[in-house]
Amino acid sequence: MVPPRRKIVVLLIGNHSAGKSSFINWYIEEHVQKTGVAIETKGFTIVTSGKKRDSLLGNATLHIFPHFKPLSQFKGVMDFLTTEVCSSKQKKFSLVSFVDTPGLVDGDLNYPFDVQGAIQWLGSTADLIFVFFDPVGQALCKRTLNTVEALSDKHAEKMRFFLSKADEAGNDADRQKVMMQIDRNPVKFENQIHEATKDIEQTINHTIQITLDTLEKDSENIVELLDKHLKADQEAREYNRRVNRKVYFLGALAFLIPALFISPYIFPVKSAEDVGFGFLKGLNLNLLFSKADNNGKEERSFLSACLVIFVISIILVLFARLSYDHRATLTNHQRKYYVDLRNYVQGVIKKKNQLYREYLEQSIDNCDI
């Protein structure tokens, strides 16, 4: 099961001082992230909307973002994972969570965790990946290029490339150097920062559609799975009833044969035929009702008959025991729970259709829906 997400995730990566934190501050129109030439962001910071301004540490972050829990598998990351909660209502911030990453640099700087591995994992979960380059560093950071290349191989459709501080890029020759050192064309020289907001809004709209489609598909899969379990339970119940009838029949037969054998001695009769016990004669047990002779044949016949009846009864009991092959079934409480759950999920599918209609009504005339 995948933990639910209420917002899209935008991952920001790039060199240090490339404008990642500044972009977040610009989007939410509040100064939440520190900005400057130095490496200000030393860990992963999630900037999200909330009721009031607050800062959360690693464990609290995973509590409100359970889909980021696998990030804790990277040794050392939890000590550098924070969340900044902001009450800003600007743009679509209530539907977006920004993930600000450490500025990537080369040289002797050692990160206290696997920064490239963590960024690549975040890239697999993010809905958008914004890559910032700045003309001052001329995109020369090898660590940045390696990370971007790895992300581009798997998530190229999510990636957007921006050249920040384009007004400081110098002449055309300097800008050409920057463009030659990255594998995608950056945005034009004119400030197009508002294009980023359009990408975010478009991703939100697409995510809504994908979420509703996924809701319907998952709900149908759940209903199908519940129906499968209920059908299997019904078949198991019917099978058990057939087994019970067979066991009861064999058990009754194992009891009835000795009873029929003993009954003439309990209720004396002239002959077996008088009480409908003709089958005993077929088993040569009619000797039991004959007169005794001088050689004591009646006693031997009686003992032999008892042995035969005993063996037959034992065989019938064994057959009954071997036939007792019950299949596992749901309890009445479990079956009721499955039925109620199926009815609830079917109601969710109907609710999804209503939500889809309400979403489409925002942009399409009712007559076209």
Determine whether 85 is exposed, middle or buried from the number of CB atoms within 10 Å of its CB (0-12, 13-18, 19+): middle
One domain for residues 315 and 229: yes
pLDDT for the residue 285: 45
Q: Please report whether residue 211 resides in a domain.
A: no
Last residue of a domain, one of 191, 206, 231: 191
Q: What is the CATH number of the domain that holds 22?
A: 3.40.50.300
One domain for residues 103 and 169: yes
pLDDT for the residue 170: 53
Q: Please report whether residue 107 resides in a domain.
A: yes
Determine whether 331 is exposed, middle or buried from the number of CB atoms within 10 Å of its CB (0-12, 13-18, 19+): exposed
One domain for residues 185 and 309: no
Phi and psi angles of residue 256, each rounded to the nearest 5 degrees, phi first: -70, -40
The structure tokens listed for 2 are 């995948």
pLDDT for the residue 339: 92
Last residue of a domain, one of 138, 172, 191: 191
One domain for residues 136 and 270: no
Q: Please report whether residue 368 resides in a domain.
A: no
- pLDDT tens by residue, the chain, 369 residues: 566 678 889 999 887 777 788 888 888 888 877 765 445 457 888 888 888 888 888 888 888 888 888 888 888 888 888 888 888 888 888 888 899 888 777 666 677 788 888 888 998 888 899 888 776 654 457 778 888 888 888 888 888 888 776 555 555 555 555 555 554 554 445 566 777 888 888 888 888 888 888 888 888 899 999 999 999 999 888 988 888 888 788 777 777 777 777 666 665 555 545 544 444 444 444 444 444 444 455 556 666 767 777 777 788 777 777 767 777 888 888 999 999 999 999 888 888 888 878 777 776 655 555
Instruction: Give the tens place of pLDDT for each residue, 78-134.
Output: 888 888 888 888 888 888 889 988 877 766 667 778 888 888 899 888 889 988 877
Number of domains in the chain: 2
One domain for residues 172 and 92: yes
Q: Please report whether residue 73 resides in a domain.
A: yes
Q: How many CB atoms lie within 10 A of CB 231?
A: 10
One domain for residues 182 and 315: no
Range of the domain at 294: 218-361
One domain for residues 55 and 150: yes
One domain for residues 137 and 273: no
Determine whether 83 is exposed, middle or buried from the number of CB atoms within 10 Å of its CB (0-12, 13-18, 19+): buried
Q: Please report whether residue 268 resides in a domain.
A: yes
To 10 degrees, the CA torsion angle through 285, 290, 295, 300? 30
